[in-house]
Amino acid sequence: MWKLADKELTNRLIQGTAQYPSPEILCESIRASGAEVVTIALRRQSPKDKAGARFWELIRGLGVHVLPNTAGCRTVKEAVTTAQMARDLFGTSWIKLEVIGDDYTLQPDTTALVEAARILVKDGFEVLPYTTEDLIVAQCLVDAGCRVVMPWGAYIGSAQGLTNKFALMTLRKRLPDTTLIVDAGLGKPSEAAHAMELGYDGVLVNTAIALAKDPVSMARAFGDAVRAGRAAYEAGLITPREMAAPSTPTIGQPFWHSERRE
Amino acid at 8: E
Residue 173 among the catalytic residues: no
Please, what sign has the CA dihedral across residues 134, 120, 99, 83?
positive
- The C-alpha atoms of residue 186 and residue 162 are separated, in whole angstroms, by 7
Answer yes or no: are the C-beta atoms of 143 and 172 closer than 8 Å. no
Answer yes or no: are the C-beta atoms of 185 and 215 closer than 8 Å. no
Answer yes or no: are the C-beta atoms of 144 and 177 closer than 8 Å. no
Answer yes or no: are the C-beta atoms of 160 and 152 closer than 8 Å. no
Answer yes or no: are the C-beta atoms of 171 and 150 closer than 8 Å. no
Angstrom distances, CA of residue 204 to CA of 12, 23, 96, 236, 243: 9, 19, 11, 23, 36
| Active-site position among 3, 7, 77, 96 | 96
- How many C-beta atoms lie closer than 10 Å to residue 195's C-beta? 29
- The C-alpha atoms of residue 242 and residue 245 are separated, in whole angstroms, by 9
**Three-class secondary structure of residue 182 per DSSP:** strand
Q: How many angstroms from the chain centroid is the CA of residue 184?
A: 7
Answer yes or no: are the C-beta atoms of 82 and 88 closer than 8 Å. no
Strands 7-9 and 2-4: antiparallel
Catalytic site residues? 96
